[in-house]
């Protein structure tokens, strides 16, 4: 590749250097404000996350802040993914633009990029803001850049952010265990209950990606997710970093994750199902996690050793991805299917399950444990609370949450406080 081509790309990515401008969305992701606090610190700032969730937009928005005379380059084109090109670009930004803030998008494609940045970090007064779609590649950099890098994970759109893009601003984020504040929020929005219920279904169906928030055509939505996100990751991004001998298996495993989201899984059973060896299946699942397509949750225990031994659950990162891959229309999402994927939307690092198969869908581990069970239905019986009560007894907890379809009430059982809350309302504060 010639330097002339690289120079042309530099100009295209930086029209502001010639008096031009780039139209940037005004809406700020919540993570933007966390990253903004670190702009005047020396550390490299890394934004990691799934494709098309807004990493590049955040970088462009940061560049527009007063006093940030930044320069930008993206390594998304295969021809630019060489170490010597990275060095050329950084030198050009420093020597020709006098840049103090350098924004490098999709840098994970460059071999030893962390070594390059370390040399500039140690020798020059340069601030790097970088992004990548592979968590493993960015996490590896922590060793080479120990003490020099802060990593921020950009999740798919939160329901609050989705509504913000729809023109509906909602109250600030509330701690899920602050029941009194949640009750106040419910009282303030109850007159718009039907609106929030409908928007929540749309969010589950298409809400992971900012560009799809106002899209109504279902074929456009499904094609966007399949072609611009899933297939690019599986057939391009992952093979660019890891050795993939069976791309068909990689895609089939992801399809399995989509259709079995929120279910327990066992690698040995997957080996038998897909006629593949243990190492391959284990590695491929790890690659899917590294690319932010799936999540894996452990059965909660205060003992890390017990967590490691127990069966785990697999989740697609966001339900909208599963619907696009599996070809589900909005109309096809019947109540039973929707319940499964609502649970996926709430998935965290932990669930809980005992030997008697009592289970809680989510266990949040903050200052105190908070168990959350998802029952996306309108009638809640005592049997629906059984797993939640067992978990609370096991760990001596005073509070628990049951996410419902449309029920909001507080129940006191055996001195324990259980908040029944519509899933859409819980998602607002989640």
Model confidence pLDDT, tens digit, residues 157-210: 999 999 999 999 886 778 999 999 999 999 999 999 999 999 999 999 999 999
| Average pLDDT score over the chain | 94
State the pLDDT at residue 290: 94
Q: In total, how many domains does the chain have?
A: 2
Last residue in a domain, options 98, 119, 154? 154
DSSP 242: S
Decide which of 104, 121, 154 is a domain's last residue: 154
Say yes or no: 146 and 164 in one domain: no
Q: Model confidence over 367-402: pLDDT tens digits?
A: 789 999 999 999 999 999 999 999 999 999 999 999
The verdict on 142 and 172 lying in the same domain is no
Digit-coded pLDDT (tens) for 308-352? 999 999 999 999 999 999 999 998 886 667 888 999 999 999 999
346, 426 contact by CB (below 8 A): yes
> Looking at the structure, do residues 228 and 86 belong to the same domain, yes or no?
no
Indicate the residue among 125, 154, 183 that finishes a domain: 154
| Residue 336 and residue 414 share a domain | yes
Give, rounded to a whole angstrom, the gap between the first and last alpha carbons of the chain.
Answer: 47
What integer pLDDT is reported at residue 34 of this predicted model?
A: 98
pLDDT of residue 134: 76
Q: What pLDDT, on the 0 to 100 scale, is given for residue 337?
A: 79
Q: What is the mean pLDDT of residues 35-52?
A: 96
Segment 108-166, tens digit of pLDDT: 999 999 999 999 998 888 999 999 987 766 777 777 888 899 999 999 999 999 999 99
| Dihedral sign, Cα of residue 165, residue 171, residue 172, residue 177 | negative
pLDDT at residue 335, rounded to an integer: 62
Sheet with 416-422: strands ordered across: 362-365, 369-374, 399-404, 416-422, 409-413
Question: What pTM was estimated for this model as a whole?
Answer: 0.94
Contact 47, 103 (CB under 8 A): no
Considering only residues 19 and 138, tell me which one the structure prediction assigns the higher pLDDT: 19
Based on the domain organization, do 163 and 139 belong to the same domain? no
* Same domain, residue pair 77 and 147: yes
Q: Are residues 195 and 326 in the same domain?
A: yes
Let me know whether 314 and 398 are in one domain.
Answer: yes
- Say how far apart CA 65 and CA 423 lie, in whole Å: 37
361 and 221, same domain (yes or no) = yes
Give the pLDDT confidence score for residue 136 in this predicted structure.
Answer: 63
CA distance 58 to 47: 9
CB atoms closer than 10 angstroms to residue 87: 14
Question: From CA 267, how far away is CA 248, in angstroms rounded?
Answer: 18
Q: Which domain holds residue 119?
A: 3-154
Q: What are phi and psi of 402, to 5 degrees?
A: -120, 115
- Looking at residue 170, its pLDDT comes to 83
Band of pLDDT at residue 105, cut at 50, 70 and 90: very high
The residue written with tokens 């999709």 in the block is: 106
pLDDT of residue 214: 97
Residues 47 and 93 in one domain: yes
Which tens digit of pLDDT belongs to each residue from 216-263?
999 999 999 999 999 999 999 999 889 999 999 999 999 999 999 999
CA atoms within 13 A on the CB side of 364: 15
CATH at 47 = 3.40.50.300
- Residue showing tokens 């068909």: 248
Provide the 3-class DSSP secondary structure of residue 372: strand
Percent of the chain with pLDDT over 70: 97
d(CA 142, CA 151) in angstroms, rounded, equals 9
> Do 136 and 186 reside in the same domain of the chain?
no
Of 419, 371, 426, the C-alpha closest to 174 is 426
In this structure, are 220 and 285 located in the same domain? Answer: yes
């Amino acid at each position: 590749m010639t330097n002339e081509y690289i120079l042309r790309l530099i100009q295209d990515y930086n029209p502001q250097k010639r008096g031009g401008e780039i139209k940037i969305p005004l809406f700020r992701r919540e993570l933007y404000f966390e990253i903004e606090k670190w702009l005047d610190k020396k550390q490299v700032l890394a934004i990691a996350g799934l494709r098309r969730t807004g990493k590049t937009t955040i970088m462009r928005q940061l560049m527009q802040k007063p006093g940030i005379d930044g320069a930008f380059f993206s390594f998304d084109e295969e021809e630019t993914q060489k170490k010597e090109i990275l060095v050329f670009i950084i030198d050009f930004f420093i020597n020709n633009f006098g840049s103090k803030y350098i924004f490098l998008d999709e840098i994970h494609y460059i071999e030893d990029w962390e070594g390059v940045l370390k040399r500039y970090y140690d020798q020059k007064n340069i601030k790097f803001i970088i992004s990548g779609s592979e968590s493993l590649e960015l996490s590896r950099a922590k060793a080479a850049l120990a003490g020099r890098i802060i990593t921020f994970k950009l999740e798919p759109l939160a329901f609050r952010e989705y509504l913000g893009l729809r023109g509906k601003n909602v109250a600030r984020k509330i701690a899920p265990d602050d029941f009194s504040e949640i009750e106040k929020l419910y009282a303030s929005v109850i007159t718009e209950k039907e609106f929030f219920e409908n928007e929540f279904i749309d969010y589950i169906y298409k809400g992971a990606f900012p560009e799809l928030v106002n899209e109504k055509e279902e074929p456009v939505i499904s094609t966007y997710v399949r072609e611009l996100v899933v297939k690019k990751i599986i057939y391009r991004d992952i093979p660019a970093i890891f050795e993939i001998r069976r791309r068909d298996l990689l895609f089939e495993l992801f399809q399995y994750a989509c259709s079995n989201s929120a279910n327990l899984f066992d690698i040995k059973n997957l080996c038998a199902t897909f006629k593949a060896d243990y190492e391959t299946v284990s590695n491929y699942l790890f690659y899917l996690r590294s690319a932010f397509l799936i999540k894996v949750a452990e059965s909660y225990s205060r003992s890390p050793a017990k967590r490691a031994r127990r069966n785990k659950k697999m989740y697609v990162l966001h339900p909208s991805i599963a619907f696009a891959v599996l070809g589900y229309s909005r109309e096809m999402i019947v109540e039973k299917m929707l319940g499964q994927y609502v649970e996926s939307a709430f998935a965290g690092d932990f669930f809980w399950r005992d030997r008697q198969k009592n289970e809680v869908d989510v266990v949040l581990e903050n200052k105190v444990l908070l168990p959350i069970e998802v029952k996306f239905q309108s009638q809640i019986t005592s049997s629906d609370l059984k797993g939640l009560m067992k978990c609370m007894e096991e760990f001596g907890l005073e509070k628990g949450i049951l996410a419902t379809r449309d029920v909001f009430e507080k129940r006191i059982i055996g001195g324990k406080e259980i908040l029944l809350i519509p899933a859409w309302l819980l998602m607002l504060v989640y």
